[in-house]
């Protein structure tokens, strides 16, 4: 058995979802690919795939083997690529993890530029506000905001995002526009962002010159995903604090209104993070360089317009 070819065949079946598409992508007969996977299963003594006449599903053991073997396959691709004198451009898979609103409003709109520059790099983008473990999650890098606590990771600063406090016009017409942060404790509804890790609500923070305030209030609604958190404010459920880039389109459309503009929260730092003991591949190196080039402007460059609003008398 050609074990490396069998691993590649198995990985392609997992990615393609069936044997036919996998065989086509590898330019080999379906029977040959099926035999390679069967030989790999016999060699390992486990069932990697469950086959029916309609579909192929990955067993728990198969999923675990795929995650571990995929790193080997991609490392070998890197080695081959680095010794290929005819190819000066980086290529291969790049697996990235990023939060929801940052993916939607910052990274994804910029990705066409990266793909145009590096057409041989293939991207697997994991989008969730809950940060993954870089080692067990088999991820090349993560893009995250906030303070860094793990000293075993390498972090590169990508810029700072402006934070704002905002609410829907309908909400402000009903409950009034607060003039000072302390007024949020007097009958206002706050939609809290919940930590995806701990489930705790982040307090509302404000700064004015040297003065800093932190408002902790019992929330009626808490949300642990950034896009849904923004949607709650648009729906009129209450006041939120969020990134200006995330709210920019809704501010422009009049669906949200910025309030307490004299008491803006401090800017929020963003970093790209990767394990310090992991080989820095050429594709990851150029991706980090590209991020540091385009992210600072995009974190604060997507503002479409600022609005002030007061309810009609």
Q: Give, for all 313 residues of the chain, the pLDDT tens digit.
A: 688 889 988 988 887 778 888 888 777 898 999 999 999 999 999 999 988 766 788 899 998 998 888 778 777 776 776 665 445 678 888 889 998 889 999 999 999 999 999 998 989 888 887 766 655 556 788 998 887 766 667 889 999 999 999 999 999 999 999 999 999 988 899 999 998 777 888 889 999 988 889 988 677 889 998 999 999 999 999 999 999 999 999 999 999 999 999 998 889 999 998 877 556 778 889 999 999 999 988 887 543 333 333 333 3
What is the DSSP pairing of strand 141-145 with strand 268-275? antiparallel
**Best CA proximity match to 140, nearest among 307, 282, 298:** 282
Angle between the N-to-C axes of helices 108-117 and 282-301, in degrees from 0 to 180, rounded to the nearest 10:
140
Q: Which run of H or of E encompasses 67?
A: helix 60-82
How far apart (Å, rounded) are the C-alpha atoms in residues 277 and 86? 29
How far apart (Å, rounded) are the C-alpha atoms in residues 131 and 195? 11
| 23 touches 32 (CB < 8 A) | yes
- pTM, two decimals, is 0.67
- The residues, any chain, with a CB within 8 Å of residue 13's CB and separated by 6 or more, are 19, 22, 33, 37, 49, 56
Q: Which run of H or of E encompasses 271?
A: strand 268-275
Torsion angle (degrees, nearest 10) of CA 116, 119, 122, 125: 0
How far apart (Å, rounded) are the C-alpha atoms in residues 177 and 159? 31
pLDDT tens-digit readout, 173-217: 999 999 999 999 888 999 999 987 778 888 899 999 888 899 886
pLDDT tens-digit readout, 24-71: 877 789 899 999 999 999 999 999 998 876 678 889 999 899 888 877
């Amino acid at each position: 058995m050609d074990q490396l070819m069998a691993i590649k065949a198995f990985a392609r079946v997992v990615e393609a979802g069936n044997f036919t598409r996998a065989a086509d992508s590898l330019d080999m007969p379906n029977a040959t690919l099926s035999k390679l996977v069967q030989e790999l299963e016999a060699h390992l003594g486990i069932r990697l795939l469950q086959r029916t006449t309609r579909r192929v599903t990955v067993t728990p053991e198969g999923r675990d083997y795929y995650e571990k073997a995929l790193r080997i396959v991609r490392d070998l691709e890197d080695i081959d690529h680095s010794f290929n004198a005819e190819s000066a451009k980086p290529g291969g898979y790049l697996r990235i993890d990023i939060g929801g609103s940052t993916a939607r409003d910052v990274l994804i709109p910029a990705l066409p530029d990266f793909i145009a520059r590096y057409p041989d790099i293939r991207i697997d983008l994991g989008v969730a506000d809950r940060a993954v473990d870089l080692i067990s999650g088999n991820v090349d890098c993560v893009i995250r905001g906030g303070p860094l606590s793990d000293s075993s990771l390498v972090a590169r600063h990508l810029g700072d995002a402006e934070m704002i406090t905002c609410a829907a016009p309908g909400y402000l017409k009903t409950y009034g526009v607060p003039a000072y942060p302390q007024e949020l404790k007097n009958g206002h509804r706050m939609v809290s962002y919940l930590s995806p890790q701990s489930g705790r609500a982040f307090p509302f923070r404000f700064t004015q010159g040297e003065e800093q305030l932190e408002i902790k209030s019992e929330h009626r609604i808490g949300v642990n995903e950034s896009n849904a958190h923004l949607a709650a404010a648009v729906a009129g459920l209450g006041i939120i604090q969020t990134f200006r880039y995330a709210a920019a389109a809704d501010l422009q459309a009049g669906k949200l209104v910025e309030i307490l503009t004299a008491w803006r929260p401090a800017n929020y730092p963003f970093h790209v993070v990767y394990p310090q003991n992991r080989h820095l591949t050429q594709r990851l190196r150029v991706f980090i360089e590209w991020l540091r080039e385009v992210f600072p402007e995009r974190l604060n460059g997507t503002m479409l317009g600022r609005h002030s609003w007061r309810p009609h008398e």
